[in-house]
Amino acid sequence: MHNELLTKRSPIVLIWKFAAIEAAGLLLYFVATLFGNAKYELYTQLSFSSLLSYQAAKLLVLYGAQFVFTVYAFLSWYYEEYAVRPGSITHSWGVFFKRTVEFRFDKSASASIKSNFLGKLLHYGAISVQSGASVFIIKTISRPERVAKAISGDYGSMEHAFGKEPDISQLLTEPEHNQLEFKSSLRFDYKTGNSSRELEKAAIKTVAAFLNSKGGYLILGVDDARAPLGLENDYRILQRKDRDGFENHFTQSFNNMIGPEFRNCVKLWFQNIDGRDVCVVQAVPAPRPVYLKADNSEFFYMRTGNISASLKLSEIESYANSRWPKRIS
């Protein structure tokens, strides 16, 4: 699933550009008439003036310039787009040199539509997106209501992507595979009796691999035989020693190692099995590549069978092109 909404500038923008080109052409023609015979005398001094009449050359220059500006106006409109993803908006534009600007927002972001009478009549308008103290303007797009609705939460929440609560009992009967993995805890090391950042990193690594692949379930709080160990040892070393504290810590670690813009691609489910809390971390496929940030480096993981494999830099581009093919709208 590609949780991404692409939108272009409204065609009315293209009409305005064409109208501006026509107006500029008329203005230049008017200015040119002020020079009288000087233009003709200058033209006769050119080496190729004998090959083309003055009137024909004048029309060729005027219509040629108009054609070039019209083509450029169309291409500049065609190559400009906004990509709205959970937690971010990317504005791309440029004919010869592609430029992009990314604006990140959180769940509290609000989107308001600015449209005049004509815009309401023809269904176009601008969107002002505010997240905290930051403001981003999406300029004159068609059907701005659907984009504003997406930014305000209906699209970004992704609740529809998770479906009903997973059946943990059923998952515990399955062996580990490309969409399922088991871990005894999030950060409690049963060998040392202390918290372990490496265990935490391993858990987030698995989630990153699910995000870069087909999604999946990471079950925390079970042993190698898939018997419930519970999360009580994890709770014990948290400041808040309950499910909410566990989820808050997971979110903090996830945001630090992956990024808050992908947090709504992941949902935590808690169930009590044999008197012990077990957590299922469900990840849906991410809309773009996810990198794990750890030890002052970035790593890219994907699921291969029942392991999370790291790709080399030379392999990432090929995988990303097949996993997230460029979409044209």
Residues 276-283 have a mean pLDDT of 95
For residue 143, the tally of other CB atoms under 10 A from its CB is 12
Q: By the 8 A CB rule, do 125 and 53 touch?
A: no
Q: Would you give the end-to-end CA distance of the chain in angstroms?
A: 17
Instruction: Name the DSSP class of 98.
Output: -
- Cα torsion for 223, 227, 228, 233, to the nearest 10°? -30
139: exposed, middle or buried (Cβ count in 10 Å: 0-12, 13-18, 19+) = middle
3-state secondary structure of 1: coil
Name the amino acid, one letter, at 134.
S
pLDDT tens-digit profile of 61-73? Answer: 778 888 898 999 9
Evaluate the CA torsion angle 62, 68, 72, 75 in order and state its sign: positive
pLDDT value for 190: 93
Question: In the structure, what pLDDT confidence band is assigned to residue 104 with cuts at 50, 70 and 90?
Answer: confident
Structural domain boundaries of the chain?
A: 1-157, 159-323
E strand or H helix that includes residue 218: strand 216-220
pTM over 0.75: no
Show the tokens assigned to 15: 């009409």
pLDDT value for 153: 59
Show the tokens assigned to 59: 């029309």
Sheet with 216-220, side-by-side order of all strands: 180-183, 216-220, 276-283, 266-273
pLDDT tens-digit profile of 18-42? Answer: 888 888 878 877 776 666 666 666 7
pLDDT tens-digit profile of 190-244? Answer: 999 999 999 999 999 999 999 999 999 999 999 988 899 999 999 999 988 999 9
> The domain 159-323 is classified under which CATH number: 3.30.950.30, 3.20.10.10, 3.30.420.40, 2.30.40.10?
3.30.950.30
pLDDT tens-digit profile of 248-277? Answer: 999 999 999 999 888 888 999 999 998 999
As a whole number, the mean pLDDT across the chain is 85
Q: By the 8 A CB rule, do 123 and 140 touch?
A: no
Task: Identify which has the larger pLDDT, 129 or 149.
Answer: 129
Show the tokens assigned to 268: 């935590």
Q: By the 8 A CB rule, do 243 and 251 touch?
A: no
Show the tokens assigned to 204: 């987030």
List alpha helices for the chain, DSSP H.
Answer: 11-33, 38-44, 54-78, 117-122, 144-149, 159-162, 168-171, 197-211, 232-236, 243-257, 313-323
pLDDT tens-digit profile of 133-148? Answer: 889 999 999 888 888 8
pLDDT tens-digit profile of 9-24? Answer: 999 988 988 888 888 8
